[in-house]
Amino acid sequence: MKISNLEKIEKIKVNMEGAKEVYKQVPISKRDGSPRFSFRVFTIEPEGNTPFHRHPFEHLNYVIEGHGCLVEETEGNMKVKKGDFVLVLPDEKHQYKNRSLKAPFIMICAVPKEYE
């Protein structure tokens, strides 16, 4: 069993093409012995965004703080806010954008541990 506190987890800047002001923390991962999933927390600073990308696995998101939009290939921009859950299926092209000028957008992202 493991208990971790997000305030004590190192924030690492995401270094992917197309990422702007995005930071990642990994409070639970395969290194902790998790048999199936890793939990990551992404902080997108004001006016920042994740890359517009796709991958061969699903991820489950929960918005902890803020508001923004999820950009998707067929649906366009969909608003998301604190308290929303999002399922991104394998190979769905997507991007998160923080539309705030002042506050961060923070979300949990659960993925299969092989893809952390």
pTM: predicted TM-score of the whole model, two decimal places: 0.93
How many Cβ atoms from other residues are within 10 Å of residue 50's Cβ? 24
- What whole-number percentage of the chain has pLDDT above 70? 100
Domain spans of the chain?
A: 12-115
Hey, which CATH number is domain 12-115, 3.40.50.300, 3.10.50.40, 2.60.120.10, 3.90.180.10? 2.60.120.10
Residues 116, 109: Cα–Cα separation, whole Å: 10
Render pLDDT for 51-85 as a digit per residue (tens, 0 to 9). 999 999 999 999 999 999 999 988 789 999 999 99
Mean pLDDT calculated for residue range 28-50: 95
